[in-house]
Amino acid sequence: MEQLLSKISRNLYVIPGGFFVTKLFRKFFNKPINGKNWRIFEFRGVTMKVDISKQMGNAIYWRGAHDWAPIFVLEKFLKKGDTFIDVGANQGEYSVWAARKVGSKGRVLAFEPMQKLFDQLTENIRLNESFHKTILPIKLGLADEKGEVILYASADSNEGTNTIYNTEKFSIELGKIQLDTLDEQLNELKINEVNFLKIDVEGAELQVLKGALNTLKTHRPILLLEINKDACIAGGYLPEDILELLKPFEYSFSKIGLRGTLSKVDTLPDFCNILAIPQ
């Protein structure tokens, strides 16, 4: 029954308000059956393996994506043959959707520094044989300089919120991770085109952008940024500092709303996904 309802539930993404039906289905299956946490499913040409005991994995299993709005944006703006950079790739959700869109002539670079999530990322790439030559997983964090830092987690079940900033909430040490800049990585990998850059790194977005100034100047990619004011403050800056950094590159900024709708903004909300398009 769970498999049938989850299949129906995932396909409700096409219906406005389908989220609420999905929420009802999840209510009846909120605990793993027989202690089995892992699920493998196929949906819209993508295969994913997720841990439904985790917040993000559970959402992907029942909804097809943990948040459909950015996925709609990817599908609208990515084109065949594009190069997509996924900074903070987590278990590979955006990477496999992007690979599906850019096709065999495109490229996806997926940066994920945490070993456990990197293992999930590589497993989800393995499950999608047609994407093997498209996605390159890289076990590395990105920032404004090369180095090594400790990664921290909170006590909740959201596997998408690990951060390099030690706060009262995020105080569980996950071990050290290696850092480099995007500019240096693209130079080493001899990447000569970047069309779309997604950054979701729990407060380190500004540092990633500072390490990608040459990329922004040379390639002028579309940017998808998750903005979390509390995470930015933990990183020692305000969300508006991101706008200030990008001002010389002449980007226009839009908040991503339900079903991928875009509304232009001059100031940033406390929490949102932002699409920045070069003018």
Summarize the confidence of residues 116-129 as an average pLDDT. Answer: 97
Distances in Å between the alpha carbon of 185 and those of 111, 132, 233?
Answer: 10, 20, 27
The DSSP result for 141-165, as a single string, is EE-SS-EEEEEEE-SSS-TT--BSS
Closest residue by Cα to residue 179 from 254, 112, 103, 105: 112
Helical packing angle, 93-102 and 68-77, nearest 10°? 20
Structural domain for 50, as ranges: 1-64
123 and 239 share a domain?
yes
Instruction: Write the pLDDT tens digit of every residue in 50-104.
Output: 999 899 999 999 999 999 999 999 999 999 999 999 999 999 999 999 999 999 9
Asked if pLDDT for residue 29 goes beyond 80, the answer is no
157 and 245 share a domain?
yes
* Residue 249 burial (CB count, 10 A): 15
Domains: count for the chain:
2
59 and 80 share a domain?
no
Asked if pLDDT for residue 20 goes beyond 90, the answer is no
Dihedral Cα 103, 109, 112, 118, nearest 10 deg? 50
Summarize the confidence of residues 2-11 as an average pLDDT. Answer: 90
- Locate the DSSP E strands across 53-159: 83-87, 107-111, 135-138, 141-142, 147-153
43 and 137 share a domain?
no
36 and 163 share a domain?
no
Report yes or no: 163 and 152 within 8 Å, Cβ to Cβ.
Answer: yes
Q: What is the mean pLDDT of the chain?
A: 93
57 and 158 share a domain?
no
The pLDDT confidence band at residue 199, using thresholds 50, 70 and 90, is very high
CB hemisphere CA count around 245 (13 angstroms) = 19
Instruction: Write the pLDDT tens digit of every residue in 132-155.
Output: 999 999 999 999 999 999 999 998
28 and 160 share a domain?
no
Of 64, 91, 116, the residue that ends a domain is 64
If one compares 34 and 166, the residue with the highest pLDDT of the two is 166
